[in-house]
A and B are shown apart, each in its own frame.
Chain A
Amino acid sequence: MPAHERIATAIRAANEAGRPGLVPFVTAGYPSPDTFVETLQAVAEVGDVVELGIPFSDPMADGMTIQRSSFEALQKGVSLKWIFDQLESAKDELDTPLVMMSYLNPLLAFGYDELAERALETGVCGFIVPDLPFEESDDIRAALEARGLGLIQLVTPATPDDRLETLCDASRGFVYAVTITGITGGDVGLPADLTDYLDKVSDISRIPVCAGFGIREAQDVANVGAHAAGAIVGSALVEVLEKGEDPRPFLRALLGA
Chain B
Amino acid sequence: MSALLQQDEASQLLDAAIRGELPDSRGRFGPFGGRYVPETLVPAFERLEEGVKEHLHDESFQAEYRKELREWVGRPTALTFAPRLSEAWGAEVWLKREDLAHTGAHKINNAIGQALLAKRLGAERVIAETGAGQHGVASAAACARVGLPCTVYMGAVDIERQAPNVDRMHRLGAECVAVESGDKTLRAAIDEALRTWVTDPNGIYYLLGSAVGAHPYPYLVRELQSVIGEESRQQMLDQAGALPDAAFACVGGGSNAIGLFYPLLGDDIELIGVEAGGTGSGLGQNAATLATGTPGVLQGSYTMILQDDDGQVQETHSISAGLDYSGVGPEHALLQATGRVKYISAEDDEALEALEELCAAEGILTALETSHAFAAAKQYAKENPGSKILIGNSGRGDKDMPTLTKYPARIRTHASA
A174→B338 CA distance, assembly (Å):
42
A109→B296 CA distance, assembly (Å):
8
B313 contacts A by Cβ under 8 Å: yes
Number of interface residues of A (CB under 8 A): 41
Partner of A136, one of B36, B194, B200, B310: B36
Partner of A60, one of B34, B38, B305: B38
B51 contacts A by Cβ under 8 Å: no
Which A residues are in CB contact (< 8 Å) with B314? 57
Q: Mark B298-316, 1 if CB is under 8 A from A, else 0.
A: 1110000101011111100
Which B residues are in CB contact (< 8 Å) with A64? 181
B199 contacts A by Cβ under 8 Å: yes
A178–B182 contact, CB under 8 A? no
Which B residues are in CB contact (< 8 Å) with A183? 195, 198-199
Those of B276-317 within 8 Å (CB) of chain A: 296-300, 305, 307, 309-314
B83 contacts A by Cβ under 8 Å: no
B198–A181 contact, CB under 8 A? yes
Those of B198-219 within 8 Å (CB) of chain A: 198-201
Which B residues are in CB contact (< 8 Å) with A67? 181-182
Q: Mark A118-153, 1 if CB is under 8 A from B, else 0.
A: 000000000000111101100000000000000001
Q: Mark B20-40, 1 if CB is under 8 A from A, else 0.
A: 000000100000001111111
A60–B181 contact, CB under 8 A? no
Q: Which residue of chain B has its CB nearest to the CB of A183?
A: B195
B43 contacts A by Cβ under 8 Å: yes
B107 contacts A by Cβ under 8 Å: no
Those of B130-188 within 8 Å (CB) of chain A: 181-182, 187
Partner of A106, one of B182, B201, B305, B311: B311
Q: Mark A174-213, 1 if CB is under 8 A from B, else 0.
A: 0000100111000000000000000000000000000000
A10 contacts B by Cβ under 8 Å: no
B230 contacts A by Cβ under 8 Å: no
B270 contacts A by Cβ under 8 Å: no
Q: Mark A149-177, 1 if CB is under 8 A from B, else 0.
A: 00001111011100100010000000000
B39–A133 contact, CB under 8 A? yes
Which stretch in A32-40, A74-82, A214-222, A245-253 binds the other chain? A74-82
Q: Which residue of chain B has its CB nearest to the CB of A79?
A: B310
A135–B26 contact, CB under 8 A? yes
A114 contacts B by Cβ under 8 Å: no
Closest Cβ of chain A: how far from B297's Cβ, in Å? 5
B63 contacts A by Cβ under 8 Å: no
Q: Which residue of chain B has its CB nearest to the CB of A153?
A: B39
A178–B39 contact, CB under 8 A? yes
Which A residues are in CB contact (< 8 Å) with B38? 60-61, 130-131, 133, 154
Partner of A107, one of B42, B298, B311: B311
A108–B191 contact, CB under 8 A? no
A88 contacts B by Cβ under 8 Å: no
Which B residues are in CB contact (< 8 Å) with A60? 38, 191, 194-195, 299
A110→B182 CA distance, assembly (Å):
23
Which B residues are in CB contact (< 8 Å) with A133? 35-39, 42
A104–B39 contact, CB under 8 A? no
B312–A131 contact, CB under 8 A? no
Which A residues are in CB contact (< 8 Å) with B313? 57-58, 105
A59→B368 CA distance, assembly (Å):
30
Which B residues are in CB contact (< 8 Å) with A159? 39, 42-43
A160→B46 CA distance, assembly (Å):
11
B43–A109 contact, CB under 8 A? no
A10→B182 CA distance, assembly (Å):
36
B199–A181 contact, CB under 8 A? yes
Q: Which residue of chain A has its CB nearest to the CB of B300?
A: A131
Partner of B40, one of A56, A61, A106: A61
Which B residues are in CB contact (< 8 Å) with A74? 312
Question: Do A160 and B34 contact each other (CB < 8 Å), given the known contacts A67-B182, A80-B310?
Answer: no
A131–B37 contact, CB under 8 A? yes
Question: Can you show 21 pairs from A to B with CB atoms below 8 A apart?
Answer: A57-B182, A58-B182, A80-B310, A80-B311, A103-B297, A104-B297, A105-B297, A105-B307, A106-B310, A108-B297, A131-B38, A131-B297, A131-B300, A132-B36, A133-B36, A133-B38, A154-B38, A158-B40, A167-B39, A181-B40, A181-B198
| 4 interchain residue pairs of minimum CB distance | A109-B311, A106-B311, A105-B311, A154-B39
